Amino acid sequence: MTEEVKEWWELTARWFQDDIDLDVGVNWTGVGVDDDLRLLLDVAGKDVLELGCGGGQCSVALAERGANVTGLDLSAEQLDFARDLAAERDADVAFLQGDVTDLPFADDSFDVAFNAYVFQWVDDLAACFRETRRALREGGRFVFSMPHPVYDLADPESHEVEESYFDTGRQVTPQNDLETDMVTYRHRVSDVYNALVGAGFRVERLLEPGSDDPDDYEEGPWGERRPELLAKLPSTLAVEARAA
């Protein structure tokens, strides 16, 4: 399962980074709408782990805020981009290759774990959350955002609900112009919440940022984020939890 996700990212990382052209910052809401949800302001001096750091834009931002940051990602291509970005900005971040469901860190290594828009690529969230809890010190914070599972259920043109919220697990999006399809995973909000509690986290806040005014949104680079639809359905789910 992880192999096909890795293959996708090795193939598309360069194109993704060129197209998305993300600013250095904590981009909680992915492409299009970018509001810093102010979940990670107080990181100076903290040991921080980014799970699925991609091109390193978030890791570098937190290093610039004074954190000791480690960025982990499956993709060697994404990590190459991240290392170049950190070097350009003279930011000290330890980047390494690995899988968020099997972390190469000792118990109690970090004060904070976070990521943005990674868990739609991860099948076994329970394993990831158990590993994250193990690597965090007691009382440590786990903050992340991910695509809200209801947003993709609607047809982007008609806004009619076309897919079932209950159809969880592996979703294949055919890519005609590439030699591999995109494979992601749908997780219900309750799946996320229950996996966190099962792994030993106390969930402190769930956030569904957004507004009902289409003018508050910009289109994403690939046209898949539509202001009219974004004003009807939440596109991002953000979670704040604490290692209990």
In the bound complex, what is the minimum distance in angstroms from residue 83's beta carbon to ligand SAM?
13
- With CB under 6 A as the contact rule, the residue among 33, 63, 74, 112 that binds ligand SAM is 74
Among residues 62, 70, 73, 93, the one that binds ligand SAM under rule CB under 6 A: 73
Rg, Å, the chain Cα set = 17
CB of 189 to ligand SAM, least distance (A): 20
From 12, 29, 70, 78, residue interacting with ligand SAM (rule: CB under 6 A)? 78
- Of 54, 140, 147, 210, which one interacts with ligand SAM (CB under 6 A)? 54
Q: Residue 49: which residues within 8 A CB-CB, separation 6 or more?
A: 69, 70, 71, 72, 105, 109, 110, 112, 113, 114, 132, 135
Nearer to ligand SAM, 70 or 115 (CB): 115
Question: Closer CB to ligand SAM, residue 1 or residue 44?
Answer: 1
Q: How far apart are CA 66 and CA 129, in angstroms?
A: 25
The least CB distance from residue 63 to ligand SAM, in Å, is 14
Q: Identify the residue among 9, 95, 110, 114 touching ligand SAM (CB under 6 A).
A: 9
Rounded Cα distance, 190 and 146, in Å: 14
Q: What would the two tokens of residue 241 be?
A: 């939890």
Q: What are the distances in angstroms from CA 233 to CA 47, 152, 213, 225? A: 35, 9, 11, 11
Smallest gap from Cβ 87 to ligand SAM, in A, equals 18
How many Cα neighbours within 13 Å face the side chain of 212? 0
Indicate the residue among 122 and 230 with the shorter CB distance to ligand SAM: 122
Site for ligand SAM in 93-152 (CB under 6 A): 99-101, 115-118, 121-122
- Count of residues that interact with ligand SAM, criterion CB under 6 A: 23
Q: Which residues bind ligand SAM (CB under 6 A)?
A: 2, 5, 9, 22, 27, 52, 54-55, 58, 72-75, 78, 99-101, 115-118, 121-122
